[in-house]
Each structure stands twice: as C-alpha cells, then as structure tokens.
Amino acid sequence: MADPGVSVAPYWELTFDADGDVDGPQQDRLLAALPATGVRDLIVFAHGWNNDRSTATRLYSGFFAPIPRLAPAARIGYVGLVWPSMLFCDEPIPDFPHPAATGCGPGPALDQDTRRALLAAFPGRAAVVERLARMLERHPRDEAGLEEFGRLVRLLVEVEPSGAAGRFAADTADTADAAPDGLPGMFTRPTAAVCGEFAEARAQLEAPVGQEAFSLPNPWEGAKELLRQATYYAMKRRAGTVGERGLGPAVGRLADAAPGLRVHLVGHSFGGRLVSFALRGLPARVRAVKSVTLLQGAFSHYAFAARLPDDPSAGGVLQGQERRIDGPLVCCCSRFDTALGTFYPLASRLADDDRSLLGPGIGALLGARWGAMGHDGVQAVPGTRTCTLADALGSPLPTSGCVNVDASAVVRLGGLPSGAHSDIVHPELARVVLAAGRIR
C-alpha cells in the first residue's frame, strides 16, 4: 500500500491509542496485504515526542527516502507508527519549517499551537491547560503561585495513574531513579526550587561557550520547562504502554500472517522506548525481530542492565530483553543532544540529591546516574560494543548483543532546549538501520 505523502512503497500506517489499542481496520489491511507483496524485510518506525501525525509522516518519508537506493535488491516494506505524543512548538527540528513560520517560537508563554497540542494529548483537561497558560503569561510573584502551577502540572499529566499504568514509566525494576513514592523529584520537591533549577540549567546552556551564567534567573523562566518535562514523563509512560500492549502483540500477528518475515524496529526519542518495550510484549514463540535501532533514545541508559552500578540489588526494567532480538540492539547517541544530555537527567534525578547543578560539569555530574540512551548509549550491559559512526558503516556490526554508535558526526544541529535531539534524517543513519538488520 502506497501513501501519496510518503517517499517509499509499500508503506502502511499503524495507529495506537494511549492504552496501546491498535486501529483495527489499519491492522487488518496490513495483515491482508503483506503476504502478497513479497516483502522480506519490514522496517517499523516509531516517532518520539514533538510529533503529530503529519510531522511523523514527514519524518518517515524523509528518513526512508534513501533506503531504496541504498539497498536496491532488497524486498523492503515500511510501517510508520502513529501514537499520541506531545508537540511543543518552540523546539526547532532541523530540515523542518522553523517554528516562527507557524506562529510559535521560544519564550515563557504557551503559543496557541502548543495549547492545542496539550488539549489533544490530555483530553478532558481544557480548564487546567487554560489556567497553566494564564500563569505562564502573568507570572504571579509569590511562591504560592509557583506551587499552584506545580499542582496544576501534576493534575494535567496524572502523575499517579490508576491501575498498572504507572509501571510503564519505570526505568529500573526497583525504581532506583525515583523518589520514595515512585515519582521523579520534579513532582515531589517544592515547585519554586525545581523551576529555579530548570531556569539555571537553561541559563547555563545559553551562556557563551567557555563562560558560566552567574545571574540567578527568575524561577518562572523554568516553569515552562517543568511543564515540558512533565508532559515528557507522561509520554514516557505512554510509550511503554503502547510498546508492550500494542506493538509487541502486533508484531506477533505480523509474524503469523507472513511466516519468514524479518522485522526491524526503529524508534526515535520516546519511540525508542516504545520499540524496546515491544520486546516485552512479543509472544514467546516469535523470533521475527531481527534488529532494533534506537535513534536518540529518551530513556535510561541502564534500562537493559541486569544490575545498576550504584545499586546491585536493582536492575533495568528491560533487563535481558535484548535477547528477544534475533540480531543486534543498536543505540545511536550524540553529545550534541541537549534534551538528553542536560534536561533528561535533571528531570530524572532523586528528590533528595543535593548536588549542585551549576557549572560546566552539569552533564557529567548528572549523566552517569541519570543519563539517557541517546546521550551516551547502553550502559552496564556486559559485552556492549562502542564504535564511531564511520566504524559502524565501514565494517559489519555484531550479529547479537548491544552496540553503541556515536552519531555525533551527523546528529549535531538544533537549538535550545533540545539541541540535536531531532536531527536524525540522514542517509548515514538509514545505513545503520540496514547494517543492523543485514538488509541487502
């Protein structure tokens, strides 16, 4: 099935809701059509944050475009996943129209497009979104105003969901990266202090190279960052849900419909978390997943670890799941990813961690314990190989286990606050996907 808005064929779309339920008619069309196409290798791509359907489709079209030229003899099919994630319009994406072109841009207030995205991502919370927007515009001067802002943020993203949904936000089996109640420190500490730290971190990133930011920013300058990171926490939980409850079983149905099909999972940002959690949802008998490629994965670099370096009694929530792949788990990372190098570990750290966040070592200070896959790759998994992008493309990748690929040579462009987090549409990264899956 070809989509006129996508550069490759055959292409299908699969849409999931926040609970992981798949669009039935879309899935039925894919299952019915796939066996007759002769497709041997099916590349399944999951977008991350900052994507509505149209942006996701453009991402897939751009990323897939060079693949037919790179592997002309291969019989490849393509699936683009659509799941309800969040779009903040002030985050520039390389090769996409600048936010100013659509009437939104940087600043402490919420533009109309971001308000609409919040309403779509969190239905039934219109009054909460409006109150948050008004507070970001007016900046109430007393500390009570910031605490009310924090309360509204927690209400918006439902930080303590009912049922088992909360477990999909965990990165470790013992919740070692959370506060005692299982929540990140940004939800448990005084809002004024959290917003102040976000404001300080951003000021440090905005300071000229080689200089430190000495002024103390207004905590309200960090309030929008708190809202952004809180929505990412909700998307993190949602990505795990969609992966395990939705994509994993769907891959099992694909394997049944087309015996011999080779499936290659690709995920950007929280889409990397989604495809990784899909491994937990695979039926036990299924060995169809031949590779997993994570592009700037927005989840803990210890997620696959059997033991945490600072707590041997705890392990990653996905420990051992790389063995569900009949091939390698390839993690592309970049030091230019500000979203994962600074803000992700800052939002993930313990509530009682009193180490300073200022100074040029902020990334190193927080990254070792609270780092993300897309910043420094898979950690604490024995046998993990680390290489440059050139090395990954110049020699065969391992046939199993974890491989970290430093993609900083191409993943390097983008402004604050996310840096190069979304700079992933490069032929070199498409070649990594082909190499991981041995698609020729």
Please write the tens of the pLDDT for every residue from 396-434: 999 999 999 999 999 998 876 677 888 999 999 999 999
Mean pLDDT of the chain: 84
Nearest 5°: the CA angle 59, 4, 256 is 75
* pLDDT over 50 at 166, yes or no: yes
Residue with token string 């788990």? 329
Of all helices (H) and strands (E), which one includes residue 30? Answer: helix 24-37
Report the pLDDT value the prediction gives residue 348, as an integer from 0 to 100: 58
CB 416 within 8 A of CB 106: yes
Q: How confident is residue 355, by pLDDT bands cut at 50, 70 and 90?
A: very low
* pLDDT over 60 at 362, yes or no: no
Report the pLDDT value the prediction gives residue 181, as an integer from 0 to 100: 37
How far apart (Å, rounded) are the C-alpha atoms in residues 241 and 276?
11
Q: Tell me what percent of the residues of the chain surpass a pLDDT of 90.
A: 54
Indicate the burial class of 119 (C-beta count within 10 angstroms; 0-12, 13-18, 19 or more).
middle
How far apart (Å, rounded) are the C-alpha atoms in residues 405 and 411?
11
Report the pLDDT value the prediction gives residue 184, as an integer from 0 to 100: 73
* pLDDT over 70 at 128, yes or no: yes
Report the pLDDT value the prediction gives residue 55, as an integer from 0 to 100: 84
Q: What is the DSSP letter of 4?
A: T
pTM of this structure: 0.85
* pLDDT over 50 at 356, yes or no: no
* DSSP codes of every residue in 67-131: HHHHSTTS-EEEEEEE------TTS--TTS--GGGGT--SSSSPPHHHHHHHHHHSTT-HHHHHH
Bond before 345 cis per omega within 30 degrees: no
Tell me what the mean pLDDT of segment 224-246 comes to.
90
* pLDDT over 70 at 103, yes or no: no
Distances in whole angstroms, Cα of residue 225 to Cα of each of 147, 406, 412: 15, 27, 22
Q: pLDDT for 249-291, tens place per residue?
A: 999 999 999 999 999 999 999 999 999 999 999 999 999 999 9
Which ranges in 242-342 belong to alpha helices (H)?
Answer: 248-257, 270-281, 338
Give domain limits for the chain.
Answer: 11-85+243-340+370-437, 99-233
Report the pLDDT value the prediction gives residue 308, as an integer from 0 to 100: 87
Report the pLDDT value the prediction gives residue 162, as an integer from 0 to 100: 55
* DSSP codes of every residue in 151-170: HHHHHHHTSS-STTGGGGG-
Q: Which residue has the higher pLDDT, 101 or 80?
A: 80
Tell me what the mean pLDDT of segment 221-244 comes to.
89
Q: pLDDT for 187-196, tens place per residue?
A: 888 898 889 8
* pLDDT over 80 at 242, yes or no: yes
Of all helices (H) and strands (E), which one includes residue 348? Answer: helix 344-348
* pLDDT over 70 at 366, yes or no: no
Q: Which residues face 41 on adjacent strands? A: 76, 262
Domain 11-85+243-340+370-437: which topology? Rossmann fold (3.40.50)
Residue of 373, 207, 355 lying closest to 275 (CA atoms): 373
Report the pLDDT value the prediction gives residue 127, as an integer from 0 to 100: 96
Tell me what the mean pLDDT of segment 327-334 comes to.
97
Residue of 111, 173, 133, 153 lying closest to 312 (CA atoms): 173
Q: Count CA atoms closer than 13 A to 403's CA, side-chain side.
A: 27
Q: Which residue has the higher pLDDT, 315 or 98?
A: 315
Q: Which residue has the higher pLDDT, 335 or 12?
A: 12
CB 386 within 8 A of CB 404: yes
